[in-house]
Amino acid sequence: MAYVALIPLLPALVFAVMAPLSRAMRNRVQWLGVVGVGASLLLSIAAFAAVWPGGHEGEAVYHASWPIAQVGGVDLALGILLDPVAAIMLLVVTIVGVCVQVYSLGYMHRDERVGWYFAVLTLFTAAMLALVLSDNFLMFYMAWEVMGLCSYLLIGFWHEQEAPRKASQKAFLTTRVGDVGFAIGLAVMYATVGSFDFEAVLGSADSWAPGVATAVALLLLFGAMGKSAQVPLHVWLPDAMAGPTPASALIHAATMVAAGVYLVSRALPIFEASGVALTVTMLVGALTALLGGLIAAVQHDIKKVLAYSTISQLGYMFLAIGASGAVAGMFHLVTHAFFKSLLFLGAGVIIHAAHTQDMREMGGLAKHLPVTSVTFGIGALALAGIFPFSGFWSKDEILYAAWSHGHYTIFFIALAAAFVTAFYVARLWFRVFTGPVQNEHLAEGHAEMLVPMGVLAAITTVIGFSAPFFSEFLGHDGHWPDPAIAIGSSVVALCGLALGWWAYGRRHLVLNTRSLKQRAGSGYTVLEQKFYFDITYDYLVIRPYMRATEALSRFDRDAVDGAVNKVAAVWRSAAERAWSFDGRVIDRLVNESARAARASGSALRRIQAGRVQTYQRYVLGALVLLMLWIVVKGA
């Protein structure tokens, strides 16, 4: 079973091979990414077969651990833990990963940095697989951060333009806010248990002090909210649509944003030990599901609609986990991963064909993009929750979980969100595929783009029927949908679709932006401004921060630089004084003594005339003087 470790290692190896190559070389070996993720897919299928038929919750089929470091006598380890949840996630990540990679071969083939795109995409997949397979929170956190990095690189892939650059920074910084909570949560956890292992931490969660459990759970939830774009940390995801569309499909729909949900479901025993944290999770999810859906209903950019829809659906998952329906949440995670990546890939084809992302400039694409319109329609129906497509089953389970655990308010919020979802789905589909044709030269996508979409559409169509078996695979009681709830939610979804058709699908548009604005008044403005989150952050965080940095820079310029300059000036004048002292006094002393030596030398040289007899005269004179002195003194 050691091959399980290869599942994340192979794509990581592909990245390690591609990263150091030159750009031209890397562009030539872009298929390596497909090979790496494809190999992971095959190994994941093998791993899934090994886990089959599942049915044991939290029990590892394979568990291995390699210590990498020792801190304070405690081993820090990289570990592989394969259990039913991980096996399912592996399949989801690798299937979507392969589809996106194959699709990207067609979508990105004209980009001059396509090799780097594939390298990062592969590293991202490797990190997600490592996260899914990790057996301790520390490795989980490491993989989590690598994904954050890859997300940053992919969102900012076209960094020549300003919007992707800013979006990548926003995504990185916003998720970082959540990550700080995650990191503090890990620290508290380690202080409490002295270990990061899932087994040790989750096994002892019951015995923690309730306050500690609540604190850890809420901090982990905060991290998950950042990664999974939950209100109020959701603001990065819509902007992240500035990245390449297939990357959005992989990262911002299917996998990375799912990491937050996966974290909460992994750490569920802590949440259950707390209780309060579970309620908070539910409330955050319900709020996000409704707000995301409402905002999506007024967006014009096709990718932004999908982005807000992703936020809304992730809210659904949090809601489900909070409402004690963790299995339902995980199932929605799986179905959503497939149909949302399908929708994003379809959006990619539409954007390629129409050369715009604005839905108001599209229309009548069904005639030109037959395959896309059908596959996109399947994804849209799944998102709206229409039988028999996958979204119907998972949404139904979530509603059932909320109802059966007595969360009636939450149930109706979820139902309202489902209605809004159906409405904007219909709005999206009818606006894009029906109505007047606005562009005659439209081309269907390449085969390598359409085949992955077909695969995802097929999975979306059939995977819903596995709903009861999914629960059993995870070790819970499986059941078919409750008829009353199923019929109720279907009616609501159909009403939403009908409203969307009434407004946007008929020959003449009943609602356009202007008439909607007139009818809805200030309510529309609130939606258009996305509930003022961005503006609030701008005023509360970004502007004060900028002002603070400006004040600091002024302080630096005036006070710090001023002091330095002052010291320099004083030093300089002292140096000038020393220089003039040196010139006037010391040099003069030296020069004068030299001149004196020279003068005395030229005076004395006359005595040495070279004539022996002159010297003799001196000696004679000296002798006379000496004798006189002796005579005088002696007397």
Partner 1 sequence: MMQVGPSAFLGLAAVLFTLGLYGAVARKSAVMVLMSLELMAVAVNLNMVALSRFVTPAEMTGQFFAIFTMVVSAAEIGLGLALVLAIYRQTRSIELSSIDSLKG
CB of 609 to partner 1, least distance (A): 5
Instruction: With contacts defined by CB under 8 A, name the span among 32-40, 223-231, 514-522, 602-610 that binds partner 1.
Output: 602-610
Q: What are phi and psi of 77, to 5 degrees?
A: -130, 150
Coil, helix or strand at residue 325: coil
CB of 567 to partner 1, least distance (A): 57
The one-letter amino acid at 205 = A
Q: What are phi and psi of 69, to 5 degrees?
A: -160, 160
Per-residue x/- track, 549-588, partner 1 (CB under 8 A):
----------------------------------------
- Calpha distance 304→283 (Å, rounded): 24
CB of 629 to partner 1, least distance (A): 19
Residue in 68, 609, 622, 626 binding partner 1, rule: CB under 8 A: 609
Cβ nearer to partner 1, comparing 605 with 633:
605
Residue in 605, 633, 634, 635 binding partner 1, rule: CB under 8 A: 605
10 Å Cβ neighbour count for 160?
7
Residue in 207, 525, 600, 616 binding partner 1, rule: CB under 8 A: 616
- Calpha distance 294→538 (Å, rounded): 22
Q: Are 342 and 416 in contact (CB under 8 A)?
A: no
Q: Are 278 and 310 in contact (CB under 8 A)?
A: no
Query: Per CB under 8 A, does 73 bind partner 1?
Result: no
- Calpha distance 519→505 (Å, rounded): 19
CB of 618 to partner 1, least distance (A): 10
Query: Per CB under 8 A, does 612 bind partner 1?
Result: yes
Cβ nearer to partner 1, comparing 513 with 616:
616
CB of 591 to partner 1, least distance (A): 24
Residue in 160, 440, 613, 631 binding partner 1, rule: CB under 8 A: 613
Query: Per CB under 8 A, does 508 bind partner 1?
Result: no
Burial label for 444, CB within 10 Å (0-12, 13-18, 19+), is: middle
Query: Per CB under 8 A, does 604 bind partner 1?
Result: yes
Distant-in-sequence, close-in-space partners of 158: CB < 8 Å, separation ≥ 6: 164, 242, 243, 244
Cβ nearer to partner 1, comparing 508 with 605:
605
Instruction: Match 């030539």 to its residue by tokens.
Output: 28
> What would the two tokens of residue 342 be?
């399908």
Q: How far is CA 98 from CA 11, 37, 42, 51, 451, in A?
A: 11, 6, 11, 22, 11
Distance spanning both ends of the chain, measured CA to CA = 130
Per-residue x/- track, 19-58, partner 1 (CB under 8 A):
----------------------------------------
CB of 628 to partner 1, least distance (A): 16
- What DSSP character marks residue 76? E
- Asked if the peptide bond before residue 8 counts as cis, ω within 30 degrees of 0, the response is no
The one-letter amino acid at 263 = L
Number of residues forming the site for partner 1 (CB under 8 A): 13
Query: Per CB under 8 A, does 2 bind partner 1?
Result: no
The one-letter amino acid at 462 = V
Query: Per CB under 8 A, does 600 bind partner 1?
Result: no
Cβ nearer to partner 1, comparing 591 with 616:
616
Instruction: With contacts defined by CB under 8 A, name the span among 67-75, 105-113, 548-556, 599-607 that binds partner 1.
Output: 599-607
Cβ nearer to partner 1, comparing 518 with 613:
613
What is the maximal distance between C-alpha atoms in the chain?
156
CB of 627 to partner 1, least distance (A): 13
Cβ nearer to partner 1, comparing 510 with 630:
630
- Asked if the peptide bond before residue 481 counts as cis, ω within 30 degrees of 0, the response is no
Query: Per CB under 8 A, does 607 bind partner 1?
Result: yes
Query: Per CB under 8 A, does 617 bind partner 1?
Result: yes
- Calpha distance 58→474 (Å, rounded): 8
Query: Per CB under 8 A, does 631 bind partner 1?
Result: no
CB of 574 to partner 1, least distance (A): 48
Q: Are 269 and 205 in contact (CB under 8 A)?
A: yes
Q: Are 148 and 118 in contact (CB under 8 A)?
A: no
Instruction: With contacts defined by CB under 8 A, name the span among 43-51, 457-465, 514-522, 610-618 that binds partner 1.
Output: 610-618
Whose CA is closest to 341, among 125, 18, 31? 125
Query: Per CB under 8 A, does 624 bind partner 1?
Result: no
Coil, helix or strand at residue 576: helix
Residue in 110, 610, 634, 635 binding partner 1, rule: CB under 8 A: 610
Residue in 436, 608, 631, 634 binding partner 1, rule: CB under 8 A: 608
* Contacting residues toward partner 1, per CB under 8 A: 604-613, 616-617, 620
